[in-house]
Amino acid sequence: MSQLCRRFGISRPTGYKWLRRWRQEGKPGLADRCRRPHHSLNKTPEHIEAVIIQARRRFPGWGGRKLRRWIRNKIDDGTFGLSVEQLPAPSTITRILDRHNLLGNPSETRRNKTYKRFERDRPNQLWQLDFKGEFPLMGGQLCYPLTLVDDHSRFCVLLQACQNQRRETVQQLLETAFRRYGLPKAILLDNGPPWGAGIGWRADGPYYTGLTAWLMLSGIKVIYARPGQPQTKGKNERFNGTLQAEVLEWRQFSGWPELNQSFTRWRRIYNTERPHEALDMEVPARHFQPSPMDFPTKLPEVSYGPDDQQRKVDIDGRISFQGDEYRVGKAFGGYPVALRPNGQPEKWNVYFCHQHIRTIHLTD
């Protein structure tokens, strides 16, 4: 044995190991075996892995950081009977998910990029409103999820499965949200219906609609995102992506009651349980509070200052001023608007309620 081991450059214990395997198992015993140790001092205990797997199956769209924070919050509530010190790092949780084939998105294993975020410094200064892209129910009907998110806190003010994108549907849902949470100072919109014409901007600004005129009458400033720049409404776009990843990708819905029940349950989790990375892993509800601006029971009459030049908009969206006609938008038909000097020669700013909606050029 000593001569044989010297010839092949191995130790005598290694030689005897291979001889023992051959005597016990024959030729199969000579195959290479895994060199991983049978027991690892750093291995996460099975009962903690079970908690992680249970959490992932409950929230299949969450990664290691969110799962760790959620489990930690539950530990503070005494749910799992663990200590915070026993929790593994987010990277370890990700490896546990990978080992159990629970990573559905390859990007979860990559390090997240750092983005510079811009946000309002208090809740209710700006809400972002959008229709997420439609999707079919099992019966073939199309669903149009309407989403409304607070810019500062990421709190989901409204999430509703809609059967259409009509003004009446949206206005009724917004009234319910306004009565519950009060009014924001401003709402950010894209250019799609029913708050936009869906064809971009005019040369002098966006196409207003009856819905946006109603928002202005309610005391809310309306802000349109620039066409072709979805990043302007980044928080709402991100929310819609999260809704897709955590709800819509994992199941099909047979009808509206089941879908809205699922939306209601997920919205509660999103606002009160799901850690948000932009909030230092806190939940949106901790950063949100209702607005002190109440929704009016009756829309006020439109009035302006004594120095304003007032004109009534006709049904075609035009006004007469200094001998010519100017188009300001059919959305304001039947209402008065105010004209104020722009500060530049031959230019006047047109206001509806509190908002500047157009600038007219007397020589154009």
> Considering only 21-25, 75-79, 85-89, 281-285, which range has the smallest mean pLDDT?
75-79
Is position 119 within any domain? Answer: no
Domain co-membership, 28 together with 51: no
d(CA 204, CA 214): 21
Q: Are residues 135 and 265 in the same domain?
A: yes
Assess whether 56 and 145 both reside in one domain.
Answer: no
On whether residue 18 sits in a domain, the answer given is yes
Q: What is the pLDDT of residue 109?
A: 45
pLDDT of residue 110: 44
Q: In the structure, what pLDDT confidence band is assigned to residue 35 with cuts at 50, 70 and 90?
A: low
Q: Cβ(314)–Cβ(353) under 8 Å?
A: no
The answer on 134 and 264 residing in a single domain is yes
Q: How many CB atoms lie within 10 A of CB 314?
A: 15
Average pLDDT taken over every residue of the chain? 85
Question: What is the predicted pLDDT for the residue at 31?
Answer: 84
Does 100 share its domain with 144? no
Identify the residue with better confidence: 118 or 273. Answer: 273
pLDDT at 356: 94
* Confidence at 33, pLDDT banded by 50, 70, 90: confident
Domain with 183 in it: what CATH number? 3.30.420.10
Model pLDDT for residues 114-155, shown as the tens digit of each residue: 444 566 789 999 999 999 988 998 888 999 999 999 999 999
Three state DSSP letters for 169-188? HHHHHHHHHHHHHCCCCEEE
- Asked whether residue 16 falls in the same domain as residue 57, the answer is no
pLDDT at 81 exceeding the cut of 50: yes
Q: 92 lies in a domain?
A: yes
Segments forming the whole domain that contains residue 218: 127-287
pTM (2 decimals)?
0.70
Q: What is the C-alpha to C-alpha distance for residues 260 and 138, in angstroms, rounded to an integer?
A: 14
pLDDT in tens, 150-208: 999 999 999 999 999 999 999 999 999 999 999 999 999 988 889 987 666 666 678 89
- pLDDT tens-digit series, residues 50-71: 888 888 877 877 888 888 888 8
Q: At what angle do helices 64-76 and 46-58 cross, to 10 degrees?
A: 110
Please indicate, yes or no, whether residues 136 and 261 belong to a single structural domain of this protein: yes
178 and 262: one domain?
yes
Residues 56, 13: one domain?
Answer: no
Long-range CB contacts for residues 266-272, cutoff 8 Å, separation at least 24: 266/159, 267/156, 267/159, 269/59, 270/156, 270/242, 271/155, 271/156
Query: Which has the higher per-residue pLDDT, 310 or 139?
Result: 310
Q: What is the pLDDT of residue 38?
A: 56
- 304 or 78, greater pLDDT: 304
Task: Give the SS3 label for residue 147.
Answer: strand
Taking 80 as the threshold, does the pLDDT of residue 336 lie above it? yes
Task: Check whether residue 154 and residue 281 sit in a common domain.
Answer: yes
Same structural domain, 321 and 172: no
Give the three-state DSSP class for 237: helix
Question: What is the model's pLDDT at position 53?
Answer: 82
Quote the pLDDT of residue 111. Answer: 44
3-state secondary structure of 224: strand
Which of the two residues, 85 and 108, has the higher pLDDT score? 85
Confidence class of residue 233 from pLDDT cuts 50, 70 and 90? Answer: low
Query: How far apart are alpha carbons 72 and 78 in whole angstroms?
Result: 10
Predicted pLDDT at 56: 83
Give the count of domains, the chain. 4
pLDDT of residue 174: 97
Token pair, residue 62, equals 């969450």
How far is it, in rounded angstroms, from Cα 288 to Cα 277? 16
Cβ-contact 337, 322 below 8 angstroms:
no
197 and 169 part of one domain = yes
